[in-house]
């Protein structure tokens, strides 16, 4: 995928992203692929169908990246964001993941589901998107007239010192196999991918569920397709094939005088789907008058998912306008959106961005974030359940301890409330 000029190459980079996202948005809407729903089904009903779909998507991502990387067809080490960076920000991964898990439960879905619901006519999710976008934007960009961000003000001073500087990249292959990271990535990727596939298809119910298999398959393949395209779009610069990022970094050497340089060279690196930071990017793009130099993979992905969901909603005649049922419903969504905004940026991704895209690189931080998101969501659902069943009798503390017992994180003797 080599182009003779940067503009054509970037156009393909962006529009191919939109096309993949559109397909993913339509299929996710059609199949009801939902990571928050996967946790809810498991915690509340013991149904693992959608959880297995999520694991199928992860397995496809892991096995696909393993094969493509071994063949030299993708670059998942120098990425945006830097999943395999040597700086392991474990506290931010865990804290951000827990906050995001709580938030997506209160707001009725993760970042991707928020976009899907917008495409289906849900106005509640428009508010969620705007709140997440505002927080995500100022977590990274300074306040007007200041050099401070929400991250530097609220988190940097106490989370950054806990980061661990590793001697290798933080993917499991490099960490466990040292100098032979290439072999390690094949071994770990193959083992983890096969185990996840085996668990997903172990269930007879899952094997007969067309929608769950289709949802997991398409989401996993979409992540792989994005990795492949963003790793392979190049520009012919005086006979030398350059990635978009390398070309933009050497802009003055190769670009014509009338060419317009993108605002961010980092956002031209190889990457795949994630949705929280792109919500902030989209807000910045709108605030600055839809300046084309600010268009990124993330903005096009966000637009594509909404468009795909809208398309399926119209085809299936499932488009419905939905608004808040009560003040409490509004409050839950508002708090959930705030937590997702903070958590998604802090953890460097969401259920798709870290739970599938980041996981596909075998990055330890991504795996920690995935576990933390599931834990935060599961505990929140259990607390909500006990507060609903026992009402005044169930204080937050009693419901929280009982939730941890139900999830087998505390011994049964510590149970404060009986299961209803």
CB 340 within 8 A of CB 111: yes
Q: Which helix (H) or strand (E) holds 240?
A: strand 240-243
> Residue 13 contacts by C-beta under 8 Å, 6 or more apart in sequence?
229, 230, 233, 244, 268, 297
- How does DSSP classify residue 168? S
Tallying the residues shown for the chain, one arrives at 420
CB 297 within 8 A of CB 267: yes
Closest by Cα among 358, 336, 408 to 110 = 336
Residue whose tokens read 């080599």: 2
Question: CA-to-CA distance for 235 and 159, rounded, in angstroms?
Answer: 40
CB 104 within 8 A of CB 36: yes
Question: CA-to-CA distance for 391 and 295, rounded, in angstroms?
Answer: 48
Closest by Cα among 54, 41, 95 to 356 = 54
Q: Does residue 271 have a cis peptide bond before it, meaning omega lies within 30 degrees of 0?
A: no
| Pair type for strands 234-237 and 2-3 | parallel
Phi-psi region of 6 (alpha: psi -120 to 50; beta: other; left: phi over 0): alpha
Q: Which two tokens stand for residue 154?
A: 């609220």
CB 235 within 8 A of CB 3: yes
Q: In the chain, where are the structural domains located?
A: 2-414
pLDDT at 420 (0 to 100): 63
Q: What are phi and psi of 97, to 5 degrees?
A: -65, -45
Question: CA-to-CA distance for 330 and 127, rounded, in angstroms?
Answer: 9
Kindly compute the dihedral angle of the four CA atoms of residues 190, 350, 388, 32, in this order, to the nearest 10 degrees: -70
Handedness of CA 404, 409, 412, 413 (dihedral sign): negative
Q: Which two tokens stand for residue 180?
A: 């032979």
Tens digits of pLDDT across the chain (420 residues): 899 999 999 999 999 999 999 999 999 999 999 999 999 999 999 999 999 999 999 999 999 999 999 999 999 999 999 999 999 999 999 999 999 999 999 999 999 999 999 999 999 999 999 999 999 999 999 999 999 999 999 999 999 999 999 999 999 999 999 989 999 999 999 999 999 999 999 999 999 999 999 999 999 999 999 999 999 999 998 888 999 999 999 998 888 888 889 999 999 999 999 999 999 999 999 999 999 999 999 999 999 999 999 999 999 999 999 999 999 999 999 999 999 999 999 999 999 999 999 999 999 999 999 999 999 999 999 999 998 888 777 888 999 999 999 999 999 999 988 876
Question: CA-to-CA distance for 172 and 398, rounded, in angstroms?
Answer: 38
Question: CA-to-CA distance for 24 and 266, rounded, in angstroms?
Answer: 25
- How does DSSP classify residue 235? E
CB 111 within 8 A of CB 275: yes
Q: What is the pTM of this model?
A: 0.96
Expressed in angstroms, the distance from the first to the final Cα of the chain is: 59
Question: CA-to-CA distance for 31 and 380, rounded, in angstroms?
Answer: 25
């Amino acid at each position: 995928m080599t182009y003779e000029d940067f503009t054509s190459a970037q156009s393909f980079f962006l529009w191919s992203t939109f096309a993949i996202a559109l397909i993913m948005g339509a299929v996710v809407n059609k199949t009801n692929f939902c990571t928050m729903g996967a946790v809810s089904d498991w915690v509340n009903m013991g149904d693992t169908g959608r959880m297995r779909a999520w694991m199928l998507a992860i397995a496809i991502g892991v096995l696909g990246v393993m094969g493509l990387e071994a063949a030299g067809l993708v670059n998942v080490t120098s990425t945006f964001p830097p999943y395999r960076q040597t700086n392991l920000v474990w506290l931010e991964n865990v804290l951000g993941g827990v906050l995001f898990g709580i938030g997506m439960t209160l707001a009725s879905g993760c970042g991707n589901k928020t976009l899907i619901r917008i495409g289906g006519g849900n106005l509640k999710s428009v508010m969620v998107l705007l709140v997440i976008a505002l927080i995500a934007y100022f977590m990274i960009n300074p306040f007007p007239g200041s050099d401070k961000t929400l991250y530097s003000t609220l988190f940097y001073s106490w989370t950054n010192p806990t980061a661990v500087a590793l001697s290798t990249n933080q993917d499991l292959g490099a960490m466990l196999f040292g100098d032979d990271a290439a072999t390690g990535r094949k071994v770990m990727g193959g083992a983890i991918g096969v185990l996840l596939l085996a668990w997903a298809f172990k269930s007879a119910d899952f094997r007969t569920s067309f929608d769950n298999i289709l949802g997991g398959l398409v989401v996993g393949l979409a992540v792989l397709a994005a990795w492949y395209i963003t790793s392979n779009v190049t520009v012919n610069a005086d006979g030398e094939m350059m990635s978009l990022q390398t070309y933009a970094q050497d802009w003055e050497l190769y670009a014509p005088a009338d060419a317009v340089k993108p605002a961010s060279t980092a956002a031209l690196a190889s990457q795949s789907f994630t949705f929280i930071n792109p919500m902030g990017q989209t807000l910045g793009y709108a605030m600055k008058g839809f300046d084309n130099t600010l268009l990124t993979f993330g903005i096009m992905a966000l637009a594509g998912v909404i468009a795909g969901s809208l398309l399926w909603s119209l085809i299936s005649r499932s488009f419905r306008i939905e608004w808040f049922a009560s003040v409490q419903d509004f409050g839950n969504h508002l708090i959930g959106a705030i937590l997702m905004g903070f958590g998604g940026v802090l953890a460097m991704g969401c259920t798709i961005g870290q739970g599938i895209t980041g996981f596909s690189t075998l990055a330890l931080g991504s795996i920690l974030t995935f576990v933390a998101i599931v834990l935060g969501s599961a505990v929140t659902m259990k607390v909500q359940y006990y507060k609903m069943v026992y009402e005044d009798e169930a204080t937050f503390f009693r419901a929280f301890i009982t939730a941890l017992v139900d999830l087998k994180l505390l011994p049964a003797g510590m149970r404060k409330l009986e299961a209803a």
